Structure 1
Amino acid sequence: MRKYLVLFAVLLLAGILAACGDDGGGEDSESSGGEDSIKIVAAHNQTDPENPYQDGLLAFKEAAESESDGQIEVEVHAGTIGTEEAELVEKLKTGAADVVLVSPGFMTSTGIDQVDLFAFPYLFDSYDHWETVVNGEVGDEMAQIINEESNNDFKMLGYWTAGVRHYYGKEPVEEIGDLEGMTIRTQTSGVVSEFWEEVGTVPTSVAWGELYQALQQDVVDSAENAYPYFVQQDHHQTENGKYITETGHDYTTRFLLINGNEFDNYTEEQQEIIMSAAEKSVEAERESLYSQEEEYKEIAKEDGAEINEIDRQPFIDIAEPIQDKYAKELGVEDLLEKIREAK
C-alpha cells in the first residue's frame, strides 16, 4: 500500500510541475506579454538626454508599446551601445540592435554609395524644401535603393534631421577668403571634404567625443554642426569655437532604419504598429529639433558666442559643380535634378 501511495505522490508532483512549465509562454517569450511579444533594441549615438534623437526614439517607444498593449517592448539606448554610427550600422546588420539612426556618410561604408546624395553641401535651401524632398518621390526612391542594395538588411522607417549645420571657429568669418588655411573638423573624404577644401579649409578627422578638447587645445581651428549638437557639447565656450558663422551649408538628413529581414519575420499587425510608431517618431524628432535650434542659438549668445550671417552665394557657386560631379559618379543625376526642381 505504501508503494502505491509513494507512486501516486510522484505522479501528482510531476503533473503539477508540467502544468507550471506550460503557462502559455510566460518566461520563455521575449517579454511577459506572451508568445507573440517582441523586444526591439533602438539606438542612437548621442549621449545627451536632451537631444532630439532621444525625443524621437522615446516617441517611437511610447507609440509601439501603447498601440501593441505591451506586446512590443522597446529598449532605447542613448549612446550606450555605440557612440560611433559605424558601430550602430554594424550592430543592425548582426542583430545586436533592431532600430538605429545613422547619417548618409556612415551608410556609404556599407557600399550603398547613392545615399551620399543627401550629404551634398547646399543641396537644400530651407526646411520646407528638405521636407518636400524626403516626404516625396525622392525619399521613396532612396528608401528603395537602401533596401535593395543592402539585400534587405536595412529598411527605411523614416527621415529625421540633425538640424542645419553652420561653421564655428576661432575667428569671425565675414567672407569666404577668411577660411583660407583653417583646419576644420569634418569628413576627410568624399563630397563634403572636397567642398571644404575648395573653400580653402583643411579637413581634419576628430572623433565627436574628442572635439571639445581638440578645439580647446588648438588641435583644430574650427568645426561645423547644428546648434543643438555643438552647443550641448559646449564647443561654443572654447577659444576655437566661439565665433559662429551661419553658413547653412547642410540641412541634414538622418535615416531611421530597421533590419528588414527581422521586420519581415514580424506579424502583419506588429509591422503596422512599428510603421505607425515610426511616423510618430518622425514628427516628434523634427518638432524637437526645430524648437531646439532657436533655443540653443539663444543659449550660445547668452554664453558669449558671437554669431554672424554671411553671403552664402559664393559657397553655393562652389558647391553646385561639386554636386554635379558626384551625382554623375553615384548615378543619381535624376534625383539631384528632382531635388533642384523642388525648390
Structure 2
Amino acid sequence: MNIKKGLFVLLGSIMAAGMVGCSSSESNNETGTESAGGDKPTYEFRLAETHAADYPTTLADKHFAELVAERSDGRIKIDVFPSAALGEEAAVIEQVQLGAIDFTRTSAGPLAEFYKGYGVFSLPYVFDHDDHMWNFLLSEHGDELLNELESSRMLGLAYYSSGARSFYSTKPVASLDDLQGQKIRVQQNAVNIDLMDALGASATPMAFGEVYSGLQTGVIDAAENNYPSYYSTRHYEVAPHLILDSHQRIPEVLVISSSTWSKLSTEDQEIIQTAAKDSIEFQRAEWAKFEQLAEEQVREAGVTITKVENVLEWQSKVKSVLDKHGEEHQEILDAIDQYRN
C-alpha cells in the first residue's frame, strides 16, 4: 500500500508540474501567469476568424493583436485562427459566450439572435452610402449597440467593414424588372425572404457553400453578396451579371467574451479596447483595396455590371418590409436618420 501511495504522489507531482508549465489559452484565461517582473499578469488568448488568412478582416484581426502585444509590452498575446479553424461562426459565438474562445470576428447578422437590435442591419436600404453607415457606427449610438451584447455574456469592441450587398445572376439583369420571378439564394431569415417577395423574386434559402453549384445547375438563378465574396468564391464564373443596388450594409463586429474581459485589469481592458478601435482604420483601408481588386478582376472576366441610378424605385418597392420589420427597431432607425448628409 505504501508503494502504491508513493506512486500516486509522484504521478500527482508530475501532473502538477506539467500544468504549471502549460502556456495554453485556457490555462492563462483561468488566472493569468505572472510576468518576469512579477507585477503584471501575462495572457495568451485565441481569436476565431472564419475568413482566409489574407482576407481583410483577418488582416485586421492580426493588426489588432499586434497593437495589443505592443502596448502591453508583450504581456498579452492574441493568436488569430483563420479559415474557421476553431469552428463556424454560429458555433464560435456560443463558445465565446461560454468563455472557451476569447475573441471572434463575426458578421452583425448572427448577433441579432443574441441582441435583437442588430437586426436593424438586415433591413433594406437603411444606409444611403458607406459614409452614412460609418457616421452611425462611430457615434455614441454605435457604441451603445456594442455594449448591449453584455447581456449575452459578450462585449463588442469595434466594427469592421463588409461593404454593400448587391444581386448577381445567371441571366441578364439591368433593372428591377429583370429580377421578377428569379430564384434568388438568401440567408435563412424572415427579413431576407420578405425582401425577395417584395422585389417580385422567389427567395431560396441555401447554405453558402452550395451557391456555386446551385447557380451552375439552375437550382437558383441568382444570389446576392458584396464584391469580395462574389470574386473570392468565383460565383462570377456562373453568374456573370451584377447589378449594384447596395440593398444591405451589414458590418462585421470584433467581440470579446465577458468571461475573458472580467479577468482583465482596468489597464488591460483599456489597452484592448483602444487597440480594437485603432484597428478600424486599418481594416477599412484593407477592405477598400480588396474591393477594388475584386471589381477589377470580375470586370476583366467579362462580367456585365450595372449601377442602379434611381434607388428610390427599389426603396419604394420594399417599403412593406420596413413597415413589417422596422417597428421593433424604430429607436435605432431614428438614430441612423440623424447621420444622413
TM over 0.5: yes
Q: For the superposition of Structure 1 and Structure 2, which TM-score range results when normalised by the shorter chain?
A: 0.7 to 0.9
SS in 1 for 2:84: coil
What residue in structure 1 maps to residue 117 of structure 2?
114
Contact 1:26-1:32 within 8 A present in 2 as well: no
Distance 1:247 1:82, change over 3 A: farther
Contact 2:99-2:258 within 8 A present in 1 as well: no
Cα deviation for residue 79 of structure 1 reads 2.3
Cα deviation for residue 210 of structure 1 reads 2.6
Distance 1:32 1:214, change over 3 A: farther
What residue in structure 2 maps to residue 219 of structure 1?
219
Question: Given residue 215 of structure 1, which amino acid in structure 2 is its aligned partner?
Answer: L
What's the CA shift string for 1:2-45, capped at 9, x where partnerless? xxxxxxxxxxxxxxx9xxx7xxx765673987371111211121
What residue in structure 2 maps to residue 159 of structure 1?
159
Cα deviation for residue 188 of structure 1 reads 3.1
What residue in structure 1 maps to residue 229 of structure 2?
229
What residue in structure 2 maps to residue 340 of structure 1?
337
Distance 1:282 1:313, change over 3 A: same
SS in 2 for 1:37: strand
What's the CA shift string for 1:90-140, capped at 9, x where partnerless? 121122321112223312333x22210111110111111011101113212
Cα deviation for residue 211 of structure 1 reads 2.1
Matched residues in 2 for 1:56 and 1:106: separation?
20
The one of 53, 57, 63 equivalent to 2:61 is 57
The one of 44, 56, 61 equivalent to 1:39 is 44
Contact 2:117-2:332 within 8 A present in 1 as well: no
Cα deviation for residue 321 of structure 1 reads 4.1
What residue in structure 2 maps to residue 98 of structure 1?
102
What residue in structure 2 maps to residue 177 of structure 1?
177
1:140 aligns with 2:154: no
Per the normalisation by structure 1, the TM-score is 0.84
Matched residues in 1 for 2:198 and 2:189: separation?
13
What's the CA shift string for 1:122-175, capped at 9, x where partnerless? 011111101110111321222233223x2xx11010111211111111112222
Count how many residue pairs are aligned between Structure 1 and Structure 2: 315
Contact 2:132-2:339 within 8 A present in 1 as well: yes
The one of 257, 260, 277 equivalent to 2:258 is 260
What residue in structure 2 maps to residue 197 of structure 1?
197
Question: Given residue 337 of structure 2, which amino acid in structure 1 is its aligned partner?
Answer: R
Identity of aligned residues (%): 27
Question: Given residue 58 of structure 1, which amino acid in structure 2 is its aligned partner?
Answer: K
Matched residues in 2 for 1:109 and 1:334: separation?
18
Distance 1:114 1:265, change over 3 A: same
Matched residues in 1 for 2:87 and 2:234: separation?
18
What residue in structure 1 maps to residue 4 of structure 2?
none
Contact 1:40-1:74 within 8 A present in 2 as well: yes
Contact 1:231-1:296 within 8 A present in 2 as well: yes
SS in 1 for 2:78: strand
Matched residues in 2 for 1:89 and 1:292: separation?
26
What residue in structure 2 maps to residue 11 of structure 1?
none
Matched residues in 1 for 2:301 and 2:109: separation?
31
Question: Given residue 55 of structure 1, which amino acid in structure 2 is its aligned partner?
Answer: L
Matched residues in 1 for 2:193 and 2:109: separation?
11
Matched residues in 2 for 1:325 and 1:180: separation?
21
Equivalent residues in 2 for 1:308-327, closer than 5 Å: 308-310=306-308, 311-327=310-326
What residue in structure 2 maps to residue 307 of structure 1?
305
Contact 2:105-2:252 within 8 A present in 1 as well: yes
Matched residues in 1 for 2:95 and 2:252: separation?
17
Cα deviation for residue 234 of structure 1 reads 0.8
Segments of 5+ residues of structure 1 without an aligned counterpart are 1-16
- Bigger radius of gyration, 1 or 2? 1
Matched residues in 2 for 1:289 and 1:27: separation?
37
Distance 1:77 1:52, change over 3 A: same
1:131 aligns with 2:134: yes
Cα deviation for residue 281 of structure 1 reads 2.3
- RMSD of the alignment, in Å? 2.5
Contact 2:118-2:145 within 8 A present in 1 as well: yes
SS in 1 for 2:232: coil
Distance 1:273 1:217, change over 3 A: same
Contact 2:243-2:305 within 8 A present in 1 as well: yes
Contact 1:44-1:88 within 8 A present in 2 as well: no
What residue in structure 2 maps to residue 78 of structure 1?
82
Contact 2:50-2:89 within 8 A present in 1 as well: yes
Contact 1:187-1:203 within 8 A present in 2 as well: no
What residue in structure 1 maps to residue 248 of structure 2?
250
Per the normalisation by structure 2, the TM-score is 0.85
